Amino acid sequence: MVQKLFQEVSRVSGAVAVFHQSIPMLTGYSFFRSVLSFTCKRSCQESISQTLARSPFSTYSKLSAFPSFYTTPSHSYSWCCPFSTSLHLRHCSPLLCSLFHSSRPTTLMDLKDVLEILEQLAPLSLAESWDNVGLLVEPIKGRPIRTILLTNDLTDSVMSEAEAMNCDLIISYHPPLFRPIKRLVSKDWKQRLAIRAITAGIAVFSPHTAWDSVKGGVNDWLVGGVGSGKVSVLSQALGSAPQIHQLEFTARSQEELNTIMAELQGTKSGVSLQHNAVRSESGGYLVTLLCPDLALTPSVQTLLRHAAPSQSLSILQTQKPPLPGHGQGRLSVLDESITVATAIQRMKSHLGLNHLRLALGTQRNLESTVSTVAVCAGSGGSVLNGVKADLYITGEMSHHEVLDAVASGCSVILSDHSNSERGFLSVVKERLKVRLSDTVTVALSQADRDPLEVV
């Protein structure tokens, strides 16, 4: 019976992933519940609910949803029925299976286990090159991770909160340690936080721009607050594979080519080099050599020792492959145009704020139409600069950056820096709860807040 229900749900929802897990439920009776979990578009939720309501298990079933980290605007749903069953995996993406598995292990987790999950949710390779992300403070003695505290900024008050709750790991969106440290002294407030963390045995992790960049991350959450639309990335993230250089040169004969390649393969870089040689009309060879960054210097030195290559050598840097959906900033072409006033009210609700700062574009008013919205969490002036949109939404911009936007006819909404980011922590909490063991508690900091307020 559950098998037929599964097939019907798949048919009406076009589910991307459907899978099953039997889990023990402490309900006063000794039985197992079967859980169907699947990922599909939010528009399918009503059809799914109606299908479940017609089932014999409708009295007992429960449909719940949580946002998908990688598939905006898809959601994941779970449905429980009061009988155990053997339901096979179908149409199931391994990535989605790993992200949305409905059962939660009950074994203790150490720091390494939690860091692996954080890496799955948002690879640190997505962070900007200037950023300082990852594990910033590691306790000398490892211990099971039982309590995780989420905060946008790690301050003295947040650290006191973590100490009071015997926290094992602080995930601070902004890195409390950013610039290189030559000494650890308590008079510097950031260094004092690191000392307190080490003393209390608390690990500190920061994802920062990795969360900004990842598909389904901070910027997708931020742009979703203004309404649904076709979303694209403003500054495309590139693959993290090592940089490859393309070296082009000529060799006068097959013998010279063989000698050169033997010397190149014999360099101390220890890297295997790929090359392609094409016979030229003059009888020589046009050679293309792919060279990793590590092997570039010894390879060039080798080529310069030969007459023909030294006179014809050119070096090109190959472009890393783009990562669709990942990158800094977002541009949304709204499904339905709204007014500036409506955008303000939606963002106040989305960010949980009573006040926002607004700069109206030239010849614009509160009733002006907004069809395109560009967003960047935090300080978005550099990312939004020159982007054609009806409205910019970010935490902060400089005075002159706002003037430039207004002069171009674009209105600007500013929330203050961390207010454009903090609400995403609630989303992260739910995503971690799905992935972590039942032995781990995830809490949102109650002491964390933007340092600026309207008075």
Nearest-angstrom CA–CA distance, 83 and 34: 6
Cβ atoms of residues 133 and 206 within 8 Å: yes
Parallel, antiparallel or unpaired: strands 322-339 and 229-238: antiparallel
421 is in an annotated binding site: yes
The number of CA neighbours under 13 Å toward the Cβ of 152 is 22
DSSP class per residue in 95-154: HHHHHH-S----S---HHHHHHHHHHHS-GGGS-TT---EEEE--SS-----EEEEESS-
Kind and range of the H or E run holding 401: helix 399-407
Instruction: List, in sequence order, every beta strand (DSSP E) within 157-214.
Output: 169-172, 203-206
Measured CA to CA in angstroms, residue 290 lies from 216, 253, 257, 270, 318 at distances of: 35, 20, 15, 14, 9
417 is in an annotated binding site: yes
Residue given tokens 């399918």 in the structure block: 44
Cβ atoms of residues 73 and 45 within 8 Å: no
Cβ atoms of residues 102 and 70 within 8 Å: no
Q: In a 3-state reduction of DSSP, which class is residue 170?
A: strand
Nearest-angstrom CA–CA distance, 411 and 422: 23
> Per the structure block, which two tokens stand in for 256?
């010279």
DSSP class per residue in 12-80: HHT-SEEEEEEEE--SSS--EEEEEEEEEEGGGHHHHHHHHHTSTTTTT-EEEEEE-SSSTTEEEEEEE
220 is in an annotated binding site: no
212 is in an annotated binding site: yes
Residue stretches of the annotated binding site for a divalent metal cation: 174, 212, 417, 421
Residues annotated in a binding site: 174, 212, 417, 421
